[in-house]
Amino acid sequence: MIRVLMLLIVSLVTVGNLHPQAWVPDLGNGRYKNPILYADYSDPDVIRVGDDFYLVASSFNCMPGIPVLHSRDLVNWRIIGHVYQRLPFEKFDKPAHGEGSWAPSIRYHDGLFYVYFCTPHEGLFVATTRNPAGEWKLHQVAKVEMWEDPCPFWDSDGNAYLVRSKLRAGTLYLHRMSRDGMRLLDNGRVIFHDDSTQPTIEGPKMLKMNGYYYIFSPAGGVSHGWQTVLRSKKIYGPYQSRIVMHQGNTNINGPHQGGIVELKSGEWWFIHFSDRGAYGRIDYLEPATWKDGWPVIGVDSSHSGVGEPVTEWRKPDVGHSYRVCVPQTTDEFNSNKLGLQWQWSANPQKQWYSLTENTGHLRLYTVQNLTQGGNLWFVPNLLLQKFPAPSFTVTTKIAFHPNQTGERSGLVVMGREWAFVALTSVKNGFQVGMFTGTYKRGYDGTQIFDSVDTKRSSCFFRVHVDSGAVCTFSYSFDGKNFRRIGREFTAVPGVWIGAKVGLFSVDPNITSGEGYADFDWFRFK
């Protein structure tokens, strides 16, 4: 009893130390609430190695790519690294919106961690490591196009396979691989296609149990689809199909692709995403059971064999209670490395920033962006992170040091449309302004909605994101009295990703001014 009370006290103290607007799924009483990650960890896959759980997610054009998260209980997660820092193709030196890494899978085999993923046009890749929090070695398996959602599988005889889908084809393929997983040995065979009952099937994850091969695949589309499981005694089929989870009477639309994991205790759990617009594809944890050789994911209240997502449930039985935590957000810039929560819009370049020129600050240089008005759609040096909760506030402190008029630095909410508050260098001083923007082919959609002239080069910027992703911007010169600027802006997602919030520093001029902005901190409070 004393141990239980102490664990509860530690849990409550930890929750109290979290930022008050963070989404905390651990309820501190042995239960959790969904989603477990109220952030855009799209296409999650999960494995258990010993007492540790690892989760990976899509990154698309955001760099570094494929975040790796760690947990001891499937509820409390921290970011521990990324699979790659950059993609080795010139295309990704500029924002390639919607391209980059799609739907990775993670597996552990013979002492190695493997992550497989495809890009739309460059091919199939695998990354390996012995330490998932360290460096990964990236290898291009095949130069193919329009493949997606690859997952490796090692059978009991040691033979290796790769199951994958094809973009918008609603078809699953199976390939033989070399035993080390580095080469494909054939062109692959179609193992499942059924548009009548399982349209748009994709995201396959394969496992073997009790003499059956199972493939977990979402079908029906991201917004309104369901979870399907295929089953066969033979790896090449034929496969039976069954829907094992759908939205049902819940508000969790299109419970989509994810990964299933077995605990030491014998419990099974499934992590999947649901698309929430500007907030991205956020992640849910569902209990899973087996009935008559088929899994049921979520709660089967109708006793039909089809589960529904849960909103609250008891935590997984991992044998211990662990500290309550959430993925990183706030950054005080006191390290010589960027926090793992940050991603650029393209392959990062050393000349974009410094964490050592002014200790305790992030220096962002005003990188040239030769578009009309510095349109942010084309800016590679946007430093962004995911929305972490349904409602939150971000504040940052900036000291701006431009070298010519037109240079601009500020705080941005970015998607297919965007809004920001910024300091701009103008003749005889500075301007604090609130802007919105959109990219439409042929012209620059950047507009200024409100501005204030000032002689001050230092400022505090703030954005409050309310439920519904409604954003309001404000500024202050003393850090205490904030004045709203501009109009409300409703955030929208990017290309396959949710909206993001972060910092930028750009120069739209033909001749580079080589200015910079120092950011003291970036706080979610």
> Catalytic residue numbers?
43, 202
Nearest to 474 by CA among 414, 506, 518, 432: 432
Secondary structure (3-state) at 374? helix
- Range list of β-strands (E), 90-246: 102-109, 112-119, 123-129, 137-142, 147-154, 160-166, 171-177, 189-193, 205-209, 212-219, 226-232, 240-245
Give the C-alpha distances (Å, rounded to integers) separating 130 from 59, 79, 120, 240, 519.
Answer: 22, 17, 28, 36, 36
Task: Please report the sign of the dihedral spanned by the C-alpha atoms of residue 185, residue 191, residue 195, residue 198.
Answer: negative
Instruction: Give the number of C-alpha atoms closer than 13 A to the C-alpha of residue 81, restricted to the C-beta side.
Output: 11
Distance CA 12, CA 30 (A): 12
Going from the C-alpha of 375 to that of each of 332, 419, 443, the distances in angstroms are: 28, 11, 10
How far, in Å, CA of 71 to CA of 59, rounded? 20
The Cα 373–Cα 253 span in angstroms is 39
For β-strands 500-507 and 367-368, DSSP reports them as: parallel
DSSP per residue over 48-70, as a string?
EETTEEEEE---BT-BSEEEEEE
For 451, counting Cβ atoms within 10 Å of its Cβ (0-12 exposed, 13-18 middle, 19+ buried), the class is: middle
Return d(Cα 247, Cα 299) in angstroms, integer. Answer: 11
Contact 61, 89 (CB under 8 A): no
**Separation between Cα atoms, residue 122 and residue 147, nearest integer Å:** 10
| Alpha-carbon separation of residue 10 from 6, 37, 73 (angstroms) | 6, 22, 16
Q: List the structure tokens of 153.
A: 């599988």
Q: 308: which 2 tokens?
A: 């529904």
Please report which residue ranges of 236-356 form alpha helices under DSSP H. Answer: none
Place of tokens 């664990």: 7
